[in-house]
Structure 1
């Protein structure tokens, strides 16, 4: 064994570089699939001037920014996620705050229509579908590590993937109300995270 170790002159793989590459490649493929099938909503030039539309990207990008740095320590044995894991609460807090404001400024008879929206089914299908590409490449990269909790690592990969997919989908979605976003985007996220958790337990074990 000592002789074999001595003969191994391969340069060690840097998991951080693999993960960054996986996220980049997955995002590019997901973006290509998005623009080939959906693309921006036709009134995006007007929508981008509204607070509600832009707020969707604040939420999705904050989720991505909070989850992405946690993947690397999650696949290193003995590494603690530390205080950075609390940043995962930023997106839910933003959504909760916006929902409260929306309820205060919107007549109560419009609450249910705004919550249901027009694209709930699209949200629940397109976000998980677009998440599959970055999720796949992230899992390939994460298999080079040794996560102490494979299920949690897989769930984190799901959160990163959702951050990418939901950001793309938000540019196509015509439902901008925080009531809609706070209902259907988390449900789509739950689908992906649940799949990521069980896939992690199956494929990220070592």
Structure 2
């Protein structure tokens, strides 16, 4: 068999391969749908959800959604070793810096007694467990998609995926969570998102090496 015949045979045998973006387009909507189904089956939507989404409390949903969108943009670029990710990392850095400023302002203007009162609820532990649990479908889908690519830095790629999955899960969980205080959001949601981001980084170092 000559070279041309071998190439033709391999092409016919392998069939068309999905790009990382193509895999994400197929798998991530399913992952988010599964997280929503899990929320409704295992938890429940807050009774005043319509009023919450029409009030300032909607920030608990919109902020994680924004982070998830920025992280997804980064994930799609980081799959390709030739891609430049300066714009993605720059915008994500600006978003995280803005959230850090809001956290600082909240800490400066909220009394210790008020913080203790807002955080003294068993729902905080539920949040710290639920967000990582709801992020599992997106993590699995994301790693399946990214394995079709070739990220130069597998750890950073895994961290970006972890951030995306956790932020999307936090947005889903916000439909259940009845606590709207900013300090509660940063403590419960922030820690949970950070943990999943670190898990993504650790898994990326193992699953995305090439």
- Return the TM-score normalized by structure 2: 0.87
Aligned-pair distance for 1:87?
2.0
- Three-state SS of the structure 2 residue aligned to 1:147 is coil
Residue 205 of structure 1 pairs with residue 209 of structure 2: yes
Residue 5 of structure 1 pairs with residue 7 of structure 2: yes
Structure 1: stretches of 5+ with no match in the other structure: none
1:36 aligns to what?
41
1:136 aligns to what?
140
Aligned-pair distance for 1:86?
1.9
- Return the TM-score normalized by structure 1: 0.88
Aligned-pair distance for 1:113?
1.8
- Three-state SS of the structure 1 residue aligned to 2:130 is helix
Alignment map for 1:144-155 (pairs within 5 Å): 144-155=148-159
Residues 37 and 153 (structure 1 numbering): CA distance in 2 closer, same or farther, change over 3 Å? same
Moved more, 175-184 or 97-106: 97-106
Of residues 188, 198, 206, the one that matches 2:192 is: 188
Residues 201 and 3 (structure 1 numbering): CA distance in 2 closer, same or farther, change over 3 Å? farther
Contact residue 46 and residue 177 of structure 2 kept, 8 A: yes
CA distance in 2 between counterparts of 1:141 and 1:123 reads: 27
Aligned-pair distance for 1:200?
0.8
- Three-state SS of the structure 2 residue aligned to 1:175 is coil
Alignment map for 1:105-124 (pairs within 5 Å): 109-124=113-128
Contact residue 118 and residue 175 of structure 1 kept, 8 A: no
RMSD value, Cα: 2.1
Residue 54 of structure 1 pairs with residue 58 of structure 2: yes
Matched pairs, number? 205
Structure 2: stretches of 5+ with no match in the other structure: none
